[in-house]
Each structure stands twice: as C-alpha cells, then as structure tokens.
C-alpha cells in the first residue's frame, strides 16, 4: 500500500510540474513570466495539489476534473513563498537563491501578484456546479494566510508570545491551506459540504502536525536527509513551538540564557547544542512531540468518520508520508 | 443632466466609502487591517465602482445587486496602488505618505495581498447566475494589470520605447480595469456577453483617454486644481505619451537635450518650461490632445451602439466627467 501511494505521488508530482510549465506557454512580457518560471522550476513536494487530488479521488473515485484546482492551489502556495521570502529577507530556498535575490524586490513582488492572478485563472477553469463555493474557500484561504503572516510578523517584535497564539498563527499560515486543498478537492469530486469539511479537518490537523514537526526537525534532523541547517531557526530567532514553550515554561535562569542565545547571528554548534539542552531539560521537545502525536491522531479520527472506504488507503499513505519525514 | 450625474456620483462615492469601512469590522489582526484602513481613508474618486454601478443601471435599471462587485473593484484598484507605490518608491499619494512610507515595505506588501483577497471575498458575495464569468473577468483584469506593470518597469531601463508599446502598456495598466468594471457591472445587471463587451469597450477607450490626459495635465494643469505637481513626470523621468512622442519624433538636437533634461532630480521650473517648449515644437502636445479626442470619440461611438437608452445619459455624464478634468 505504501508502495502504491509513493507511486501515484511520483506520477502526480510530475504531472503537476508539467501543468505548471504549460500554464506559462505563450504568455508575455518575459519580465513577469520569466521570474514565475524560475519559481516553478524550484520544485517542491507539491503536497497541496496531491492532497486535493486524493480528496477528489476518495469522494468520486476520479481525479480528472481536479487538475486545474490542484494546480491552482500549488500556484497559490508558490505566491506565498515568494512574498514571505521578501518579507523575511530569506536568501535561499530549496538550494537556490530566492526570487528576490535573483530578480530584485520589485519584480518579485510583481511576480507574486501575477501568481495569485494566475492561480485564480486556473482555478476558475474548473468544471463544477460548486465552483462559486470552491472559489469562496480558495479566497478565504488567502485571507487567512495573510492574517497568519501578519501574526508571524507581529511575533518578531514580541517576547511574550503564548503557545495558544503560536498555534493560531501556524493554523492560519500552514494548516488552513491544507484544509482548503482537501476541501476543494472534495468539492470538485462533488462532495456534500459536510464531507468536504471532514476532509478539510483531516488536512488541517495534518498541517498543524507538519509545522510543529518542522520546528522539531530544526534541531533533531540529520542535515543530509532534510536539507535543513541544524539550528537555523535558533540562529534567526524564529519563533517555534520549542522556543515559545521553553520561554514560557523554563526557569528564570533558562529564560535569561535562552534570550541571550536566540538570534545570535554568529552562534555556533556549541551554542545550538546548549539551546537544545535547555529545550530538553524544560520538556519542550517532549511536549512538541506529544503535540505532533495529538494532531496526527486527530487527523486519523477525521478519516474514521468518512463514509468512503474506497481509496482511503491513499489518504493513510499521505498521512504516513507527511508525519514520518525523517523520523 | 450633468447636475443629475454629479448628484448620484456624490451619493455613490459616499456609499462606497461607507461599505469599504464596513468590510473591516471585526477583522483582526490589526497589523493587517489597520494599514488597509489607512488605504481606504485615503479616499479617491471611486470612478471604477461608479462605472460598474452605472453599467448595471443602464442594463437593468437597478444597482442594488451591484454594490459588492463595485466595492470589490475599488478594493482591487487600491491593491494596485499600494504595490505600485512600493515598486515605484513613491513617497506621497493624495497628499499623505504612501502606505510603505507609513508602515514599511513588509507590512505594505502584505496589506496589498490582503486587499486582493478581500476584493475576491466581496466580489464572490455577488448574487448572479453569471458569477463564474464575473470572477473570470475580474481575474483576467488582475493578470493584465500585472502585465502592464511589468511593461512599465521594463520601460524604465529602455530609451527606445515606441508609442505603440506605450499604448499597449497603458491599455493594460489603466484601461483594462475600467473595461472590467463596466463589463462586470453589466453582467451583474444580467447583460448578454455582447452588451457587457460594448460597455467594456466604452470604458476601455475612456481609460486610454484618461491616461493620456493625465500625461498632459503634468505640464498643462494648474497645480491648485489637480494637486499634481508641475512637471513631476519629467522630474521622475516617467515615460509619458509626450516624452515618448518627442523622443521618437524630435530632431536629433531635441532628443539629445530631452535626454539630458528628463529625470534630472534637481531640475527646476525653467528646465521644465524648456521641456514643455520642446514638446510643443515637436508637436507632441497636439498629438496627445488628438489621441485623447480620438479615444473619447471612440467611447462615444460604443455608447451609440448600445440597445439601451434608459439611463444612458448618466454614462454620458460620466464621460464628460472623466474627459473634462481641469479642461
């Protein structure tokens, strides 16, 4: 079964990539579409379109009608990466210079805008009697993404962020678009709203698990497999489940030491090891792992409630794929 | 009649302003919506929503169903202003600091993204059996706006831009959204596609006239009435109908002198007068005025073709309003 999932995953990822490129055929001016091409060439796991396709498949047994919506969601995701990288002043993504490093801020800002519009163009080609509702959910997703990014920006200048606030932020910035992907896929498959919501909640929980796991991988992962630099969140003083937990729950001495270490641009492996030690002592790592487990189990339960058994095995495969990264 | 138009114009502008503010009720976080509020408070002539409402009125006799679409178009227009101001590094708009001067680039970039999403949320509340087509035209408008902005950015580094290229750029950057406003208004009024297209072409021609007239006002206007600084396009070396015409048609001596004057940040009134003199001698001002006249007449002819006579007088009022700014 896992083999089956990996097989369609590979096939669909390739198809998404082909369709992304095809969208750019014949479009001009190059100053707008060449940067967009650069973004598409950057690759990625394409998990959002795959999730939309899986949802459509579970509901209707078919994915043919869902390609446009799936590709639209991937385009939208790429828009958020381009604009977030500008705001976060990130220099690299997937081993290449970020778009704004390559083309400058103005052109990247504009390319991001073009990506949103392109996403809607592709989405609105979808043949569905529920297209209005699909477009509404897609749009709500963008509003919530912007709200999540605003919270993230706001957190940068605060030291008193709570875990609840952090969970709200990641649910808006990460989980919501997975929710939207699954529920739109279901609607394209002509699901009832309640079925679409159930698949959406499955994806939402998976999204929360995914993000907290991402926070964990920053200090637990093997660089050679994930490509993530050890302690990069710590160096950049990025708020994570771990740092927020430790800053809220640690002793006064721990909190003081953490505050002086986090965000030190020139801190080395020793200092990151020290931060990791504090996270361990305060119980932040255990707590984060429990949170991941909690969300994965919630995702599982959402699937139990689904009326459909056909093809559900693929959703389980997806769940394993997402929750066992580098485990 | 002109009195009638001015009356509903004032009433509708006020209603658009109220509805824009109402859209922000209860939304958070403030870091996203406060900047958006700042943008809405900046005011403006609201000509795009007014045009949508007029189109709806001409087709159906009513505007009630059109408010959401009209407000959505104004929100979209504000998105383009926010992002264009970032790209163009403009410091002031309508007598106030631009958004990025007030809140910084990151928050303004994000606020612009929020405006696009908000525009779709409002648009998709429209009750219409043609909502899919409405959303498609709205989306095509954004794609074309981005293409126009890309051309504008590209022109900055070129000295060989032709008038045809310039006209393509302004048709994408300015005329298209007026086209979309009118055609969406017509569709909300349940127009046939051909009727929507006719109103769209009316607005498109008016948009071209509007932009070239804007270029003329830069050197012909009285600052106290338009609020435009004398020669600001010349100081910023912004490509206009006038500068492109003169650079293409002037003598070698004129072109050389123009190239040295345009974009001189510290040039004063005397140099701007000199540029104006060159524009006059080369015939650029006459030619621009002929172009404005041509587009206004084309707009008129589009109205002649309309089957509807009811309320057409308001569209004529709108045409006069747009084409007689500071005349």
B191-198, long-range: CB < 8 A, 24+ apart: B191/B55, B191/B59, B191/B60, B193/B133, B195/B59, B195/B306, B195/B307, B195/B308, B196/B55, B198/B302, B198/B305, B198/B306
User: Is the CB of B109 less than 8 angstroms away from the CB of A106?
Assistant: no
What integer pLDDT is reported at residue A307 of this predicted model?
80
Q: What is the pLDDT of residues A273-288, one digit of tens each?
A: 999 999 999 999 999 9
Our CA-based measurement puts residue A28 at a distance from the nearest CA of chain B, in whole angstroms, of: 7
Average pLDDT of the residues in B257-286: 93
Whether A175 contacts A45, CB under 8 Å? no
Candidates A107, A140, A146; nearest CB to B110:
A146
User: Is the CB of A114 less than 8 angstroms away from the CB of B146?
Assistant: yes
Give the mean pLDDT of chain A.
94
Residue partners of A83: CB distance under 8 A and separation at least 6: A109, A112, A149, B109, B110, B113
Q: Which residues of A touch B150 (CB under 8 A)?
A: 29, 31-32, 107, 110, 114
**Residue A201 pLDDT > 60:** yes
- Helices and strands: H and E segment counts in chain B: 17, 2
Residue A152 structure tokens: 């993230």
Least confident of A233-247, B57-71, B223-237: B223-237
Our CA-based measurement puts residue B182 at a distance from the nearest CA of chain A, in whole angstroms, of: 20
Average pLDDT of the residues in A166-182: 98
Task: Outline where DSSP puts E strands in A154-305.
Answer: none
Whether B267 contacts B235, CB under 8 Å? yes
Mutate to test the interface with B, among A125, A128, A150 (most CBs of B within 10 A): A150
Rg (CA), chain B: 20
Q: What is the pLDDT of residues B84-123, one digit of tens each?
A: 999 999 999 999 999 999 999 999 999 999 999 999 999 9
User: Is the CB of A28 less than 8 angstroms away from the CB of B147?
Assistant: yes
What integer pLDDT is reported at residue A221 of this predicted model?
80
Phi and psi (nearest 5°) for B91? -95, -30
Q: Which residues of A touch B83 (CB under 8 A)?
A: 109-110, 113
Among chain B, residues having any CB pair with chain A shorter than 8 Å are 28-29, 31-32, 83, 86-87, 105-107, 109-110, 112-114, 116-118, 120-121, 124, 131-132, 135-136, 139-140, 142-143, 145-147, 149-151, 153-154
Candidates B32, B132, B143; nearest CB to A147:
B32
Among chain A, residues having any CB pair with chain B shorter than 8 Å are 28-29, 31-32, 83, 86-87, 105-107, 109-110, 112-114, 116-118, 120-121, 124, 131-132, 135-136, 139-140, 142-143, 145-147, 149-151, 153-154
Whether B212 contacts B291, CB under 8 Å? yes
User: Is the CB of B29 less than 8 angstroms away from the CB of A151?
Assistant: yes
pTM (2 d.p.): 0.96
Our CA-based measurement puts residue A257 at a distance from the nearest CA of chain B, in whole angstroms, of: 30
Our CA-based measurement puts residue B38 at a distance from the nearest CA of chain A, in whole angstroms, of: 16
Average pLDDT of the residues in A166-189: 98
User: Is the CB of B110 less than 8 angstroms away from the CB of A150?
Assistant: yes
Average pLDDT of the residues in B72-87: 98
**Residue B326 pLDDT > 60:** no
Q: Which residues of A touch B77 (CB under 8 A)?
A: none
Our CA-based measurement puts residue B145 at a distance from the nearest CA of chain A, in whole angstroms, of: 9
What integer pLDDT is reported at residue A62 of this predicted model?
92
Candidates A31, A135, A145; nearest CB to B124:
A135
User: Is the CB of B124 less than 8 angstroms away from the CB of A113?
Assistant: no
- Using pLDDT thresholds of 50, 70 and 90, give the confidence band for residue B157: confident
Q: What is the pLDDT of residues A60-104, one digit of tens each?
A: 999 999 999 999 999 999 999 999 999 999 999 999 999 999 999
Going by their DSSP bridges, the two strands A92-93 and B96-97 should be labelled as: unpaired
Q: To 10 degrees, what angle do helices B105-123 and A67-88 make?
A: 150
Our CA-based measurement puts residue B151 at a distance from the nearest CA of chain A, in whole angstroms, of: 7
Whether A71 contacts A16, CB under 8 Å? yes
Nearest to A201 by CA among A103, A119, A304, A124: A304
- Using pLDDT thresholds of 50, 70 and 90, give the confidence band for residue B224: low
Average pLDDT of the residues in B271-291: 96
- Using pLDDT thresholds of 50, 70 and 90, give the confidence band for residue B311: confident
Our CA-based measurement puts residue A92 at a distance from the nearest CA of chain B, in whole angstroms, of: 18
**Residue B327 pLDDT > 90:** no
Our CA-based measurement puts residue A151 at a distance from the nearest CA of chain B, in whole angstroms, of: 7
Give the mean pLDDT of chain B.
94
Candidates B107, B110, B153; nearest CB to A31:
B153
% residues pLDDT > 70 (chain B):
96
Return the sign of the alpha-carbon dihedral for residues B228, B230, B231, B235. negative
Q: What is the pLDDT of residues A95-134, one digit of tens each?
A: 999 999 999 999 999 999 999 999 999 999 999 999 999 9
- Using pLDDT thresholds of 50, 70 and 90, give the confidence band for residue B159: confident
What integer pLDDT is reported at residue A272 of this predicted model?
93
Q: What is the pLDDT of residues B205-216, one digit of tens each?
A: 999 999 999 999
Q: Which residues of B touch A110 (CB under 8 A)?
A: 83, 87, 146, 149-150, 153
Average pLDDT of the residues in A170-194: 97
**Residue B15 pLDDT > 70:** yes
Least confident of A311-315, B109-113, B122-126, B290-294: A311-315
- Is the previous residue joined to B29 through a cis bond, with omega within 30 degrees of 0? yes
Measured in Å, how far apart are chain B's first and last C-alpha atoms? Answer: 19
């Amino acid at each position: 079964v896992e083999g089956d999932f990996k097989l369609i995953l590979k096939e669909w990822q390739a198809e998404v990539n082909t369709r992304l490129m095809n969208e750019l055929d014949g479009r001009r001016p190059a100053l707008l579409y060449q940067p967009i091409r650069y973004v598409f060439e950057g690759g990625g796991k394409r998990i959002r379109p795959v999730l939309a396709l899986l949802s459509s498949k579970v509901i209707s047994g078919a994915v043919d009608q869902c390609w446009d919506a799936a590709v639209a969601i991937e385009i939208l995701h790429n828009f958020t990466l381009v604009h977030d990288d500008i705001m976060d002043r990130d220099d690299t993504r997937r081993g290449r210079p970020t778009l704004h490093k390559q083309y400058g801020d103005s052109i990247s800002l504009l390319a991001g805008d073009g990506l949103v519009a392109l996403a809607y163009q592709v989405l609105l080609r979808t043949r569905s009697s529920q297209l209005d509702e699909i477009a509404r959910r897609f749009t709500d997703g963008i509003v919530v993404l912007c709200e999540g990014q605003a919270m993230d920006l706001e957190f940068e200048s605060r030291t008193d962020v709570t875990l609840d606030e952090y969970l709200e932020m990641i649910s808006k910035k990460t989980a919501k678009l997975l929710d939207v992907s699954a529920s739109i896929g279901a609607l394209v498959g002509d699901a009832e709203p309640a079925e679409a919501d159930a698949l959406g909640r499955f994806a939402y929980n998976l999204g929360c698990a995914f993000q907290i796991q991402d926070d964990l991988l920053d200090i637990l992962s093997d660089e050679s497999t994930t490509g993530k630099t050890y302690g990069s969140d710590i160096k950049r003083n990025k708020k994570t489940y771990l740092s927020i937990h430790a800053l809220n729950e640690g002793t006064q001495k721990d909190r003081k030491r953490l505050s002086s270490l986090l965000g030190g641009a020139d801190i080395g492996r020793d200092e990151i090891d020290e931060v990791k030690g504090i996270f361990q002592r305060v119980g932040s790592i255990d707590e984060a792992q429990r949170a991941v487990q909690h969300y994965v189990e919630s995702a599982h339960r959402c699937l139990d409630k689904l009326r459909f058994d056909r093809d559900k095995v693929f959703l389980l495969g997806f769940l394993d794929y997402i929750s066992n990264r580098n485990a």
